[in-house]
Structure 1
């Protein structure tokens, strides 16, 4: 007999401005406890040393996580020039150094090569799986691995500050699957001077902004109170990049049972992925075909 998960059937998004230190999983666990929620997850891991927006989905909102993961997101990060580490960030051991310090024009020229559809190799210390085992576990044992390059779409990559000759601050807008540490490492190699990430902050992810996020101290202060519930955003915000169609009452009943249901939509074409609503509430996500939505995800709210 399956164990019944304790907690409230509560659904929506809670936006956290993650501090440096805790893992993304630890933040999710704290939010689940504070909201007394049965189910929680996050839309995109941040390294423990990274800060910024961590969107935590509760209940039925967890079904919309892939759409936030796929959305564009922005990072502001500082690269330390002249030093490469084995982790590609400031936590690792120094493995190479250089006295070369490119000027701003050389950096801007190199950044142009990282815009568009690129291929990047994940850091040795990453969660990529090699024969079923996380790469970082093998890296901790001193193993050097050949990690396969992965595609990444970079919409923009800009030099926004240079505090001194050793440090440059960059802003990147990119799609899913990007490793900022790999960008810093590869930029350093392109410039011939090495480099690693010293500081990293995710400023926004899809519709969610770090400036609107709660701190962990605020989560502790408002835990298990109506005040914290008031900060919960509707799960529909996780669907903002998909077109919306309106379900008929009969169509909504069919959709909730996992069957194609009649919907009314504008500016949607045959085969488009979209979400159906009834009275403003999400019913299902699916493909629009000949006046019906064929559901792939159904919301039980």
Structure 2
């Protein structure tokens, strides 16, 4: 007999405004405890020193995590010019310094090279796997890694402020897999002055905004109460970037059993990925095949 999963079968999203000094895993564990949830996960890791949007999925909403991680994200960050560090942020040791400082116009002129489809080498201290091991574990052991460059889509990169000669505040909108620390490192190299991230905040991620975020103190205060339940967003929020179709009653029943089901749609191309709803609730995600949805993920709600 299968072991009964502990906790409540709660489904939805809780948007957390992560503070600095806490790991993403610790946030997920706190949310899972506070909601007594059976299952939880997050849509995109933030470094411990970073703050901002960490969207935590509960229950059936965990099936929509890939659609949020694939979405665009917006970061605000401060680059400290004049120094390179082991981690490409303020947490690491300074390994080289330079006295030169670029003018605002030089920074603005360098930014276009970091927009569009770029190739980016992850930081030495990153979660990238090297022969089955995490890069940060190998880096802590003193190894210098030859990490391969990876493609990244940068929708936008703009200078927001220049508070002093040593600092520049930037805003970046990018796709999946971007490392802000690599942007700071590479920009500093291009400018000839070196650089690293002084602070970093994720302003929004896909459909989730920092303004929606709940703090860790609030989670503690509202833990295991209906007040915290009321802060949950529906699992359908994670499907915002996919087109929606309506399933018929019979189609919904078939989809819930993992079979192709009849849907009502307009403007979709054959084979396009979409999600089906019935009576306002998500039923399945799949491919539209001319009047039917062929499901790849089914929601039990």
Regarding TM over 0.5, the answer is yes
Measure how far apart 1:12 and its partner are: 0.3
> Is residue 113 of structure 2 the alignment partner of residue 113 of structure 1?
yes
Measure how far apart 1:279 and its partner are: 0.6
- Match of residue 262 from structure 1: 262
Measure how far apart 1:236 and its partner are: 0.4
Measure how far apart 1:2 and its partner are: 4.7
> Is residue 10 of structure 2 the alignment partner of residue 10 of structure 1?
yes
- Match of residue 63 from structure 2: 63
Which consecutive unaligned segments of at least 5 residues does structure 2 have?
A: none
> C-alpha distance in 2, partners of 1:156/1:34?
37
> C-alpha distance in 2, partners of 1:266/1:97?
59
Which consecutive unaligned segments of at least 5 residues does structure 1 have?
A: none
Residue 189 of structure 1: SS of its match in structure 2?
helix
> C-alpha distance in 2, partners of 1:115/1:121?
15
- Match of residue 129 from structure 1: 129
- Match of residue 96 from structure 1: 96
User: TM-score normalised to the size of structure 2?
Assistant: 0.99
Measure how far apart 1:211 and its partner are: 1.2
Residue 61 of structure 2: SS of its match in structure 1?
helix
> C-alpha distance in 2, partners of 1:3/1:172?
45
4+ runs deviating over 3 angstroms: none
Q: Deviations over 1:188-207 (max 9, x none)?
A: 01101100000000000011
> C-alpha distance in 1, partners of 2:115/2:16?
29
Query: What RMSD, in angstroms, separates the aligned Cα atoms of the two structures?
Result: 0.7
Measure how far apart 1:267 and its partner are: 1.5
| TM alignment of 1:1-301, pairs within 5 A | 2-301=2-301
> C-alpha distance in 2, partners of 1:29/1:180?
25
Q: Deviations over 1:72-108 (max 9, x none)?
A: 0100000000000010000101111100100001001
Q: Deviations over 1:192-250 (max 9, x none)?
A: 11000000000000111011100000000000000000000000000011000000011
User: TM-score normalised to the size of structure 1?
Assistant: 0.99
User: How many aligned positions are there?
Assistant: 301
